[in-house]
Structure 1
Amino acid sequence: MADVSFLKDKPVAVLGAGAVGKAQAGDCALAGQKVRICDMEPYASKTLFGVDKGIRFYGQQLNLYGFNREGLAVMDKVTTSVEEAVKGAGIIIITTPSVGHRPFFEKLIPHLEDGQFVHIFPDNYGSLLLRKMMREAGCTKKVVVGGWSSSPYGSRVDIKGGVILPSIRVYYRAITLRGAALPMTDQEAFLESAKYMGSMGAVINGDGAEGGETVMDIGFSNVNPVLHCPGTILGVSTMENYGTIFGQNKYDFSIYTHAYCPSISEVQYAFYQEEVALAKAMGVGIQHFEKRQFFSRENILGPEYMGPDYEIPFEQLDEIQIGTGPFTMENRYITEDIPVGCHMYHELGKKFGVKTPVVDSMINLASAILQRDFYATGYTLDYVGMGGMDKAQILDYLHEGKLPE
């Protein structure tokens, strides 16, 4: 087993101060770690408001084993400087949506130090992009880079009257997550380093971290596209009528609680089968789910924090998800999961000869609803540094870090 015990005495840097960033930073601080949290303008003036006085970390934190932390989490440093945040840090946690990866990576790469570990939550092909940008910048620092299939939490920032408060509500904690390093030669050290992130407490003390078979496995195992895209698109009438003709509070809406139904589950399972076919054609893994797990209110999200037998029948109300949205189609459930998740599947389908009609239908419908061409703006293999490679070359790169000559 890789010895990364030196990390216990190193500060943790959290880049991004949204829901995932505040949750990770707060949890690590409550676990006794020195935490630097960083966000960049034009967002920092709002996302970092009041954080210098601490982040209130609270919520139900539902999980199978009852792991819980709460309190006022005091940061070691609050900054808009990536350089200041990562200097001397052992672990760097990237928590921004995909749209924030490139601007953060541009600031991060010049200040990387040998021996640092970069964890991306969720990965969303960020590890591939970071390695590509490091090559382009001539960066040869010996760092471990990898990503995870999801965040360790379901969390929401408290917003009142348009003001982002320095508090985070955590309504569930993952007890297992799937992660992988790029290249896979760093896998053992990467997974071991997760034990030195307080934010992984419920995972490490739960069912543990599961090693994926390359970062492409992590891309396929990210449940967001298969959950969010069919749920939001096919449930859009419920969402847009909620709080109007339905009479309820618009901001109590959740696709899990109010939109999911057996017909949407059929679409989600068909979507997943296309992911499985892509992973097989590519020669990488994917997290396994039984068909029955798609047919409940929590769908395949539930096992992440309550184990494989957790099911809420459609006849019951899913109270934990009330108020989690989305409340508009202009939401990351669409604006991130379509161009990043779905479009990458579309591109891989073309490359490996796998038909993806359900995935493509999500792109087509989202493009029509939001009146923009997600095919034109979506992630490509070129963008993440694998354009022009054949299957064998891609696998060599993912496993060994070898680039074609």
Structure 2
Amino acid sequence: MKIAIIGSGSIALGQAAQFREKGHEVSLYVRSAPETPETVALTATGAIDWQGAVTFSGSVAAAIGEARLVMLCLPANHHKALIDRVVDHLGPEQILLVSGHYPMTGIYLNRRLAERGENAARACCISGTMVTGRRRDARTVAVSSIRQSLRFATLPGLSGDEMNGIFDEIAGKTYMNVPFGEVVFGNMNAVAHVPMALCNLTRLETGEVWSNYGMMTPTVCRLIERVDEERCAVAAAYGITCTSLADHLHMSFGTSPGTVADMAAEIVRTRGGPNGPASLQSRYITEDIPFGILPMIALGARKGVDLTAHESLVSLFSILFPEGSLPENDMLGAVGDDVDLLLSGTAASV
């Protein structure tokens, strides 16, 4: 299969290695690359041990070309601008796969196509990334893991069965097809990351090395659990049952049932866990506030749900960071009421 990947970070390179290892043809849109496609050597280590050739191009049109699947692997604050460029080159049979738990990107593509009088988007949004890892340099990636289970939702122009056929071909496995709302409300990154960033802000600012799960102390976790309760309350207002963060940790790590703080302590004892971020430019702040906390506030406001903890986090970070220094969410206004239509089950009319 011909696959185009928009991005050149750790996830993009890890995905390229995974797909090439399985024999697929991969081209990447790399903003700094020449517009004329060039063949480069890519090396992956860790969970994927592979070395071979991929194509880099600084042209969106050239990178997408005749690819059957176009995968978006970028920080969320770049999604809208890239969709505005991709939409002019995306053919009616090409599928857009949005990596990283950002379902509003698919909704925005749907709206852009509707504005041009075209059919509903053939797009899929997944509840995370298919691989995890860290980029060593522009052509080397250390892949930490290949996720064995993910949830995904499709837009009206694409069926779940067709998408699972794609997953089986590119990754050798199928994933759980769920209603769109489960992906919208299933993002727990902001629930944990933003309170952790706030309560460990001096560690980020000074570049300290610290244990992510080790600093999920009982006091910090009370804030995390309150934010999580509010997320689940918004989901319930839309008639959607979502998994709590505590249940997620129990299912993902096999921890004993308990409070989030108890589970975090058990993870530290049994696994160690990763270090926390060491920069104020961490995605815990630059992505999870505008694209995790703010959308939940917007959705909650439509249903009259009290989101005191969410709103307090935004207020505090607005004081801590000078005006304009945090990325804004340029998707919220762009998707309008379309997200409500999908959540209410009237997706065909979007």
How many residues in Structure 1 have an aligned counterpart in Structure 2?
341
Kindly state the Cα deviation for residue 353 of structure 1 after the two structures are TM-superposed. Answer: 0.7
Partner residue, 1:39: 30
Partner residue, 1:339: 290
Matched, 1:58 2:45: yes
Kindly state the Cα deviation for residue 166 of structure 1 after the two structures are TM-superposed. Answer: 1.4
Closer, same or farther in 2 for the Cα pair 1:130/1:318, shift >3 Å?
same
Partner SS, residue 179 of structure 1: strand
Closer, same or farther in 2 for the Cα pair 1:233/1:53, shift >3 Å?
same
Deviations 1:247-296 (A, max 9, x none): xxx4x44533x42222222222221211111111123353x236366xxx
Deviations 1:318-368 (A, max 9, x none): 54514xx42122222211110111001111111101111111122122222
* Amino acid paired to 1:25: A
Give TM-score scaled by structure 1 length.
0.75
Partner SS, residue 150 of structure 2: strand
* Structure 1 gap segments, 5+ residues each: 1-9, 62-68, 159-163, 243-249, 294-299
2:325, 2:120 → 1: CA distance?
36
2:60, 2:206 → 1: CA distance?
42
Would you say the 8 A contact 1:128–1:385 is kept in 2?
no
Kindly state the Cα deviation for residue 238 of structure 1 after the two structures are TM-superposed. Answer: 3.5
Partner SS, residue 67 of structure 2: coil
2:256, 2:22 → 1: CA distance?
30
Closer, same or farther in 2 for the Cα pair 1:196/1:376, shift >3 Å?
closer
2:6, 2:17 → 1: CA distance?
13
Matched, 1:284 2:240: yes
Matched, 1:313 2:266: yes
Q: Superposition RMSD on alpha carbons, in Å? A: 3.1
Would you say the 8 A contact 1:115–1:143 is kept in 2?
no
Would you say the 8 A contact 1:235–1:260 is kept in 2?
no
2:86, 2:117 → 1: CA distance?
11
1:27, 1:19 → 2: CA distance?
12
Would you say the 8 A contact 2:8–2:138 is kept in 1?
no
Matched, 1:401 2:314: no
Kindly state the Cα deviation for residue 380 of structure 1 after the two structures are TM-superposed. Answer: 6.3
Partner SS, residue 271 of structure 1: helix
Partner residue, 1:255: 212
Would you say the 8 A contact 1:338–1:374 is kept in 2?
no
Correspondent of 2:310 among 324, 341, 359: 359
Deviations 1:32-54 (A, max 9, x none): 111111122xxx259x9xx9432
Correspondent of 2:334 among 383, 392, 404: 383
1:376, 1:107 → 2: CA distance?
20
Would you say the 8 A contact 1:16–1:37 is kept in 2?
yes
Partner SS, residue 139 of structure 2: strand
1:173-212 → structure 2 map (5 Å cutoff): 173-183=146-156, 186-198=159-171, 201=172, 204=173, 208-212=174-178
1:152, 1:303 → 2: CA distance?
18
Give TM-score scaled by structure 2 length.
0.86
Closer, same or farther in 2 for the Cα pair 1:56/1:332, shift >3 Å?
same
* Amino acid paired to 2:78: G
Would you say the 8 A contact 2:106–2:121 is kept in 1?
no
Correspondent of 1:223 among 188, 191, 201: 188
* Structure 2 gap segments, 5+ residues each: 258-262
Partner residue, 2:118: 140
Kindly state the Cα deviation for residue 150 of structure 1 after the two structures are TM-superposed. Answer: 0.7
